[in-house]
Amino acid sequence: MKKEPEIVKELKLMEKIGKIQNDNSSNKKIEEKSVEGKLADDRYRFLFENLNDGLILINKFGKVIDINKSALEMYGDSRENVVGKNFTKMGIFSSKDLPVLIKDIKKILSGEEIKRLVLMNSKNGEGRWLDSSVKLTKQGKVAYVLVIARDITEKKRAQELLIKEKETAEKYLNLAGTVLMALDSNGSMILLNKKGCEILGYGEKELVGKNWFDTCLPKNISEDIKDVFKKLIAGDIEPVEFYENPVLRKDGNKRIIGWHNTILRNDEGKISGTLSSGEDITEIKNAENQLKKAHTELQYLNKKLEEKVRERTFQMEKLLEQKDEFINMLSHDLKNPIGVLQNLISIVEDSNNDPKLKEIMQVCQRNVQNMKELITRTLELAEQSELGLKIKASKINLLEIINEVVSNNQVLFNENKIEVENKIKNDVIINADKTLLMEVIENIFSNAVKYSKDGAGKLVIDSSHKDDFATISIADTGIGISPEEIGHIFDEFYKTSNSVNDESHGLGLAITKRIIDKHGGRIWAESSGLGKGTSIFFTLPSAS
């Protein structure tokens, strides 16, 4: 049998003590006075007025007979303005709630007790949430409705705030790009965010409450990890900050998760579970494995390549040695008969007065001289190629060297109407082999004169400094070089297609490049095209 609330017992007692005997009258006024008389006793009036719960007495016509202090405070009005009014016309409840309340009154009059959470409109318009219990109380023929109401507005607001905060927290959890999971001390999932459900292939309702180790870990590792978890909960071991392990999806596939873990404690400080954030690193681990495999293969290939390079380098060095030996031998073997041939031509030329024969001998002499120069250049190129050849570098004033070479070639410049402009400053000091540097400049000057335009030309010599190197430039106004050929002019025996000098050997710039290379510099050419001149640039270590 349902136990009556204490307040109902008290009110029934008040009715018995304060009742007015009037069994034969059914007059409405007498009924109201009878109820008021029942509450007149001071002791029970004090109890009625000072209860924390609100109390309202309503007759079967809906009129408020009495109301206590707590109820008045909830409504925000005075007793004089409330008692005697019909509660349905006081604006206490919204119009949409009234039909339900009226139905409740009918049920109450038939003997039912109604418990309901209702929203009351206070006098100032503020909504108040009431936890109410409404039942019919009778004494003889007098019946009234007793309303017991407890103001739970603050509690309701706190609950709504908690719900809102929970929803907000869930949104944040679901927006997170990582798995967020909480386990209780038994290893059951009490929290799993949307990302976790997606990775595992489950709906949230399918997993919350399930044992993590039995449900989501492969069988071959689940027991071991479960044992570690038990030791962690018991406080026997410290949590591992980062851990990787495979997880089992609903479809049977596996993913690798990298976990960051922390322990949860209850109010008593005891370990109550764990909180983990996890990232799906399956693709990363696959990429790492592929990278390791590729690295192993690359190491093997590099080893094989190094072996091949060493083998080819050795073969190349042997070939270069053989080539240089052959050129040396050939050049020396050719020099002697060339010298004899020159002497014979001179004798024939001097001993004969026939002009035509003299002209023929001069042509022969020029070609033999050209051949001798070719042999000399070839020997020089072979000498530059010798392995281990060292230069004798010293500090050199670049301006002085340029002026000396210009002076040595002044006759050549005058004959070909070449103007020389030297912009080198006196403070440019370089580290170089003087003899070899003069040969470099000689070769560039000679090449510029050979490929100058008929009539006149100009050479501009300048320098700049960057980092630890000086860059020297020698620009001419000659016939220029096409873009297709400019990359080959430092090759051995190379002659451009627009060469105007058939006697060129194609070795001067090749020798020049080797000398610059030996100094640790570099050399290159630039030209805007045919007919627009050429600029030769080379770098040498600076000593400034």
Q: Is residue 327 located within the same domain as residue 247?
A: no
The burial class, CB within 10 Å (0-12 / 13-18 / 19+), for 67 is: buried
Q: Is residue 76 part of a domain?
A: yes
Q: Is residue 273 located within the same domain as residue 302?
A: no
Choice among 212-216, 388-392, 410-414 with the minimum mean pLDDT = 388-392
User: What is the domain count for the chain?
Assistant: 4
Q: Are 244 and 278 in contact (CB under 8 A)?
A: no
**CATH code of the domain in which 492 resides:** 3.30.565.10
Q: Given this model, what pLDDT does residue 439 score? A: 85
Band (pLDDT 50/70/90 cuts) for residue 247 is very high
Q: Is residue 158 part of a domain?
A: no
Q: Is residue 409 located within the same domain as residue 512?
A: yes
In one letter, which amino acid is 323?
A: K
Secondary structure element (H or E) that encloses residue 535, with its range:
strand 535-541
As a whole number, mean pLDDT of residues 360-381 equals 71
8-state DSSP, 86: B
Q: Given this model, what pLDDT does residue 436 score? A: 85
Band (pLDDT 50/70/90 cuts) for residue 137 is confident
The burial class, CB within 10 Å (0-12 / 13-18 / 19+), for 508 is: buried
| 484 vs 498: CA distance, rounded Å | 12
Q: Is residue 257 located within the same domain as residue 314?
A: no
Q: Given this model, what pLDDT does residue 173 score? A: 61
Domain residue limits at 481: 394-541
Band (pLDDT 50/70/90 cuts) for residue 397 is very high
Q: Is residue 128 located within the same domain as residue 219?
A: no
Q: What percent of the chain has pLDDT over 90?
A: 24
Band (pLDDT 50/70/90 cuts) for residue 180 is confident
| 278 vs 217: CA distance, rounded Å | 14
Q: Is residue 251 located within the same domain as residue 298?
A: no
Q: Are 228 and 212 in contact (CB under 8 A)?
A: no
**CATH code of the domain in which 301 resides:** 1.10.287
Beta bridge partners of 181: 192, 276
Q: Which of 385, 404, 433 finishes a domain? A: 385
Q: Given this model, what pLDDT does residue 179 score? A: 87
Q: Is residue 371 part of a domain?
A: yes
Q: How much is the pTM? A: 0.38
Q: Is residue 30 located within the same domain as residue 116?
A: yes
Q: Is residue 57 part of a domain?
A: yes
Q: Is residue 171 part of a domain?
A: no
Q: Is residue 261 located within the same domain as residue 339?
A: no
Q: Is residue 119 located within the same domain as residue 146?
A: yes
Choice among 231-235, 237-241, 466-470 with the minimum mean pLDDT = 237-241
Q: Is residue 165 part of a domain?
A: no
The single residue listed with the structure tokens 């030329």 is 349
More confident call, 337 vs 381: 337
The burial class, CB within 10 Å (0-12 / 13-18 / 19+), for 275 is: middle
Q: Given this model, what pLDDT does residue 11 score? A: 44
- Where would I find the H helices in 186-281? 194-200, 204-207, 212-216, 219-234
Q: Is residue 421 located within the same domain as residue 368?
A: no
Band (pLDDT 50/70/90 cuts) for residue 12 is very low
| 297 vs 285: CA distance, rounded Å | 18
Q: Given this model, what pLDDT does residue 424 score? A: 93
Cα-only R_g, the chain: 56
Q: Is residue 445 part of a domain?
A: yes
Q: Is residue 225 part of a domain?
A: yes
Band (pLDDT 50/70/90 cuts) for residue 167 is low
Q: Is the pLDDT of residue 533 over 70?
A: yes
More confident call, 429 vs 8: 429
> What are the pLDDT digits (tens) for 325-334?
776 676 667 6
The single residue listed with the structure tokens 């001998």 is 361
Q: Is the pLDDT of residue 493 over 80?
A: no
Q: Given this model, what pLDDT does residue 347 score? A: 82
> What are the pLDDT digits (tens) for 415-448?
888 999 999 999 999 999 888 898 899 889 988 8
8-state DSSP, 23: S
| 481 vs 194: CA distance, rounded Å | 69
List, as one string, the DSSP characters of 141-199.
TEEEEEEEEEE-HHHHHHHHHHHHHHHHHHHHHHH-SSEEEEEETTSBEEEE-HHHHHH
Q: Given this model, what pLDDT does residue 368 score? A: 76
Choice among 127-141, 234-248, 450-464 with the minimum mean pLDDT = 127-141
> How much is the mean pLDDT over the chain?
80
Q: Given this model, what pLDDT does residue 216 score? A: 93
Q: Is residue 211 located within the same domain as residue 318?
A: no
Q: Is residue 272 located within the same domain as residue 335?
A: no
As a whole number, mean pLDDT of residues 262-280 equals 90
Q: Is the pLDDT of residue 498 over 80?
A: no
Q: Given this model, what pLDDT does residue 29 score? A: 47
Q: Given this model, what pLDDT does residue 345 score? A: 80
Q: Which of 338, 355, 385 finishes a domain? A: 385
Q: Which of 100, 119, 152 finishes a domain? A: 152
